[in-house]
Amino acid sequence: MATKRTVIVTGFEPFGDHTVNASWVAVQELERLGLGQSVDLYVCEVPVEYQAVQSLLPSLWKQHQPQLVVHVGVSGIATTVTLEKCGHNHGYKRVDNCSFCPDSQCCMDGGPDCIDSVIDMDLVCKRVNSSRLGVAVSVSKDAGRYLCDYTYYTSLYLGKGRSAFVHVPPLEKPYSAQDLGRALQAVVGEMLELVGQSEDDDHDHHHCSHQHAH
């Protein structure tokens, strides 16, 4: 029997004009829907604070050993569910909910400028859009140089690319919490399938080299 896979999905707490953060509402809706019997889903609300992210994320990765971590954030300018392809290390000038901003304006000293997800976001987008879900999905290469981007980069760094970031529009602009929950269920399901395929490929490679060793 296949072992259960572990997925962590996070949303953010309220900040600025977002007195209700659509990302956390959508993640709670996803938790209600679930990802099926073969997936252990853990959800978590992330503070909009740089230092809290730096301490929380390593413990999440270490404690749960997830196959995939998906962060969800709200974007006031988004009108679609937007899949972010990469996280950025530099350019963090906006202060957080504690009025703090990193002195270096960067996420990881000495880290690469940009880290791409191992997940093919274009393929996830194409698959979900062709499923007639009723929620439009798009892709982006700029997660916004705030806590969303900062969190994404940190997870990509910690998880060697096995992370994803999804931006959702504010509630009812145009989608309801239920719509966003269904969209996350579809998106994360497709992402898991792709991560599973890449893991199978890895196992095949190890198996081949093991054969040659005899």
Contact 4, 38 (CB under 8 A): yes
Domain containing 102 equals 5-208
- From the list 38, 22, 29, the residue with the least C-alpha distance to 192 is 38
Rounded average pLDDT over 50-74: 97
Tokens linked to 91: 């350019």
- Calculate the alpha carbon distances from 14 to 27, 47, 178 in Å: 14, 8, 19
Which residues does the annotation mark as catalytic? 84, 148
Q: Compute how many other C-beta atoms are within 10 angstroms of the C-beta atom of residue 184.
A: 26
In a domain, 197, yes or no: yes
Sequence-separated (6 or more) residues with CB below 8 Å from residue 118? 160, 161, 162, 195, 198
CATH number at residue 177: 3.40.630.20
Q: Which pLDDT belongs to residue 3?
A: 78
Q: Which pLDDT belongs to residue 211?
A: 35
**pTM score > 0.85 for this model?**
yes
In a domain, 162, yes or no: yes
- From the list 88, 82, 185, 98, the residue with the least C-alpha distance to 137 is 82
In a domain, 16, yes or no: yes
Rounded average pLDDT over 51-63: 97
In a domain, 213, yes or no: no
Q: Name the least confident of 106-115, 135-144, 202-211.
A: 202-211
In a domain, 52, yes or no: yes
Number of domains present in the structure of the chain: 1
Q: Which pLDDT belongs to residue 197?
A: 77
In a domain, 214, yes or no: no
Q: Which pLDDT belongs to residue 40?
A: 97
Q: Are strands 114-116 and 86-88 parallel, antiparallel or unpaired?
A: antiparallel
